[in-house]
């Protein structure tokens, strides 16, 4: 009997120790999460958020975790903002001695998560003044693998009801939390918007959604923060192909013009300064500029080898090194505040976005607020790609178009986009040349357009369509007809590029869908 009591006692102590290891918030590093915040700040990709504990305060055995603030609107001032707003998980998080965590949404309502609850345990997680009740439940405890790490994981599900217990439709019903025993949240919700609150305003757009872990620091695993130095960390042999357009077709602001640029860079040498403040790259560049001014088109082509020096320690680049959503005060140069966006780019590499000058809030001395000036202009956010330079970006504003994108790159064995060579770039014949005449009409178009080829030597040919990011959307091989219809299908309105490929020759141009 003594032996059995010992076994039961040991099992009881083991269960207590086992349970006490579960924690929602970990302070041994920064944790990065990928969400579905597609509107911030330029609608490209999904936002990456961070849990970074700035400081901890202990009161009577409870812990208060403070997180850095972010920019939030001051509603009574319209498009004005405070740099001291709550983060995506709230202003702070409270942990009780019993393992209960309390998060706070934008209305300062409480969200309770019981980290030590066992399987099938349930509790009242949230309630508001409108009789909304949300119950949380430990639905399972199973082994799981994330970021190459294996651990025990609790699945916490939610159910929304009214005060009588009748089920209600609410976004939180389809979402969940995943809590790792050793690493805290694997899947987490935007607690500031819990349980379905959302906010959309000029400087900062946020949606209620689920975020999944994509990285952690100390040690670094998966996606972590990167600096300006890493944006321009090129190696000898790297290739980058850039496509740009500056076009004015605004009816009220002639003269009209279209300026296209096509640039292919290859890194042939690298010289890092000993003091670490800069790096000099020797670049083998091929270029082609197609400019149409007042109906007259000129084409400039060429190549040269030159040097480019990148500085890492000037003010703007140091500011760039901040974390996702961290408030940046640039009061030295232009008295502004802004916040950096962080997301996986269309090149499947991590990106940071610095909001355009007119999407930054300016300090108003009259009422001590930060407000966005009224501006009637084309707003271009500066996008920087990890290991691929920048800034990139673009906009379309009432007939004025401006963009500059990375269409193709090669870094070691990693290749993105449609490969380009200097010979192809310099040897491109324009669609309007006599030896290979073809036309696409109408362009712009709404439902469909037609490509007509008058030179029989063009048969058969391959037609490819790309978006402005260099992603190939369609490829039609062995077209033998002199007339071919391009259907819009599900392509959204915007600017696209086409390539007509005949043997080793490529003829390119722009498509516009209205």
What are phi and psi for residue 228, nearest 5 degrees? -60, -35
Phi, psi of 335 (to 5 degrees): 55, 50
CA 88 to chain centre: 16
User: Which position has the token pair 């290891």?
Assistant: 21
CB neighbours of residue 13 within 10 Å: 10
- 209-265 pLDDT, tens per residue? 889 999 999 999 999 999 888 999 999 999 999 999 998 887 667 788 999 999 999
pLDDT exceeds cutoff 80 at 318: no
Using DSSP, state whether 509 is helix, strand or coil.
Answer: strand
Q: What is the mean pLDDT of residues 377-398?
A: 86
Type and span of the H or E element at 16: helix 2-20
Q: Of all helices (H) and strands (E), which one includes residue 497?
A: strand 494-502
For residues 92 and 8, the model is more confident at: 92
Q: What is the pLDDT of residues 423-438, one digit of tens each?
A: 888 874 444 443 445 6
The pLDDT value given to residue 338? 83
**What does DSSP say about strands 505-513 and 62-66: parallel, antiparallel, or unpaired?**
unpaired
Instruction: Report whether 97 contacts 61 (CB < 8 A).
Output: yes
pLDDT at 382: 86
Residue 320 has pLDDT above 90, yes or no: no
Cα–Cα dist 40/310, whole Å: 28
Higher confidence at residue 375 or residue 159?
159
Two tokens, residue 402: 């401006």
pLDDT of residue 7: 36
C-alpha span between 12 and 327 (Å, rounded):
47
Q: How confident is the model at residue 76 (pLDDT cuts 50, 70, 90)?
A: low
The structure tokens 């899947």 sit at 187
pLDDT category at 136 given cuts 50, 70, 90 is very high
SS3 call for 88:
coil
* pLDDT-derived band at 197, boundaries 50, 70, 90: confident
pLDDT of 236 reads 93
Strands (E), 313-443: 327-330, 336-339, 341-344, 350-354, 361-364, 369-371, 382-385, 389-397, 400-411, 414-416, 438-441
Which of 129-143, 296-310, 457-471 comes out lowest in average pLDDT? Answer: 457-471
The yes-or-no verdict on residue 38 having pLDDT over 70 is: no
pLDDT at 366 (0 to 100): 67
**CB of 406 closer than 8 Å to CB of 345:** no
As a whole number of angstroms, the distance between CA 487 and CA 461 comes to 18
Quote the pLDDT of residue 157.
97
- pLDDT value for 436: 45
* Nearest alpha-carbon partner for 268 in 279, 283, 280: 283
Q: Name the average pLDDT for the chain.
A: 83
d(CA 359, CA 354): 9
> Which of 57-66, 83-92, 382-391, 447-456 is least confident?
447-456
Which is more confident, 505 or 495?
Answer: 495
pLDDT at 344: 81
Q: How far is the CA of 488 from the CAs of 349, 443, 493, 513, in angstroms?
A: 29, 12, 9, 8
pLDDT score for 180: 96
Contacts of 155 (CB under 8 A, 6+ apart): 138, 139, 140, 141, 142, 176, 177, 178
pLDDT of 100 higher than 60: yes
User: End-to-end CA distance of the chain, in Å?
Assistant: 83
pLDDT at 509 over 50: yes
- Contact between 383 and 375 under an 8 Å Cβ cutoff? The reply is no
What's the pLDDT score for residue 18?
Answer: 43
Cα 130 to the chain's mean position, in Å? Answer: 35
What does DSSP say about strands 210-216 and 505-513: parallel, antiparallel, or unpaired?
unpaired
Q: How far apart are CA 464 and CA 472, in angstroms?
A: 7
Helix, strand counts (H, E) of the chain: 4, 39
Looking only at the bridges linking them, the beta strands covering 438-441 and 414-416 are: unpaired
Would the pTM of this model clear 0.85, i.e. be above it? no
pLDDT of residue 143: 95
pLDDT at 207: 76
Can you tell me the mean pLDDT for 392-407?
87
CA dist 285 → 325, 406, 408, 514 (Å): 36, 15, 14, 35
Cis peptide before 41 (omega within 30 of 0): yes
pLDDT digits (tens, 9 = 90+) for 81-90: 888 989 999 9
Question: Which residues are CB-contacts of 27 (< 8 A; sequence separation ≥ 6)?
Answer: 53, 56, 65
DSSP 168: -
Q: Are the C-beta atoms of 452 and 432 separated by less than 8 Å?
A: no
Q: Distance (Å, rounded) from C-alpha 319 to C-alpha 333?
A: 12
CB 404 within 8 A of CB 384: no
Determine the pLDDT at residue 504.
64
Q: What is the pLDDT of residue 88?
A: 92
Average pLDDT over residues 496-502: 79
Q: How confident is the model at residue 398 (pLDDT cuts 50, 70, 90)?
A: confident
Cα–Cα nearest to 440, from 496, 397, 400, 396: 496
Q: What is the pLDDT of residue 399?
A: 82
Write down the pLDDT at residue 297. Answer: 86
pLDDT at 445 over 50: yes
Query: Is 358:372 a contact under the CB 8 Å cutoff?
Result: yes
């Amino acid at each position: 009997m003594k032996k059995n009591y010992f076994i039961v006692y040991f099992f009881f102590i083991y269960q207590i120790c086992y349970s006490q290891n579960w924690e929602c918030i970990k302070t041994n590093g920064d944790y990065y999460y990928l969400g579905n915040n597609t509107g911030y700040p330029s609608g490209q990709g999904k936002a990456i958020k961070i849990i970074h504990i700035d400081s901890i305060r202990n009161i009577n055995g409870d812990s208060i975790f403070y997180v850095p603030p972010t920019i939030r609107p001051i509603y009574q001032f319209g498009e004005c903002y405070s740099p001291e707003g709550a983060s995506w998980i709230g202003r702070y998080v409270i942990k009780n001695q019993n393992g209960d965590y309390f998060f706070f949404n934008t209305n300062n309502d409480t969200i309770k998560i019981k980290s030590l609850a066992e399987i099938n345990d349930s509790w009242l997680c949230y309630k508001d003044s409108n009789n909304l009740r949300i119950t949380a439940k430990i639905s399972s405890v199973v082994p799981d693998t994330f970021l190459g790490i294996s651990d025990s994981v609790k699945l916490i599900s939610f159910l929304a009801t009214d005060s009588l217990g009748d089920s209600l439709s609410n976004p939180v019903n389809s979402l969940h939390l995943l809590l790792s025993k050793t690493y805290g949240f694997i899947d987490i919700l935007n607690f500031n918007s819990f349980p379905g609150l959302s906010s959309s305003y000029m400087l900062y757009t946020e949606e209620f959604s689920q975020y999944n872990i994509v990285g952690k620091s100390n040690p670094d695993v998966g996606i972590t923060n990167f600096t300006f130095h890493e944006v321009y960390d090129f190696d000898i042999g790297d290739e980058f192909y850039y496509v740009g357009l500056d076009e004015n077709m605004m009816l009220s602001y002639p003269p009209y013009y279209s300026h296209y640029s096509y640039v292919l860079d290859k890194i042939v040498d690298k010289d890092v300064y000993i003091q670490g403040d800069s790096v000099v790259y020797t670049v083998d560049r091929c270029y082609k500029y197609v400019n149409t001014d007042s109906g007259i088109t000129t084409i400039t082509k060429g190549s040269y080898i030159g040097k480019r020096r990148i500085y890492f320690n000037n003010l703007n680049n140091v500011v760039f090194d901040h974390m996702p959503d961290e408030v940046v005060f640039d009061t030295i140069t232009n008295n502004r505040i802004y916040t950096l966006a962080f997301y996986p780019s269309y090149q499947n590499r991590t990106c940071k976005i610095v909001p355009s000058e007119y999407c930054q809030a300016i300090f108003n001395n009259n009422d001590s607020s930060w407000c966005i000036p009224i501006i009637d202009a084309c707003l271009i956010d500066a996008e920087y790609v990890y290991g691929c330079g920048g800034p990139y970006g673009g906009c379309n504003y009432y007939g004025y178009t401006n963009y500059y994108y990375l269409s193709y790159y090669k870094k070691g064995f990693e290749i993105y986009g449609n490969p380009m060579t200097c010979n192809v770039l310099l040897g491109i014949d324009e669609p309007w040349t006599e030896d290979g005449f073809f036309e696409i009409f109408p362009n712009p178009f709404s439902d469909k357009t037609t490509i007509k080829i008058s030179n029989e030597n063009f048969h058969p040919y391959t037609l490819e369509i790309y978006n402005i990011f260099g992603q190939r959307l369609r490829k039609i091989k062995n077209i033998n007809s002199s007339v071919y219809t391009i259907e819009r299908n599900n392509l959204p309105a915007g600017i696209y590029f086409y390539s007509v490929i005949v043997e080793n020759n490529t003829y390119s141009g722009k498509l516009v869908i209205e």
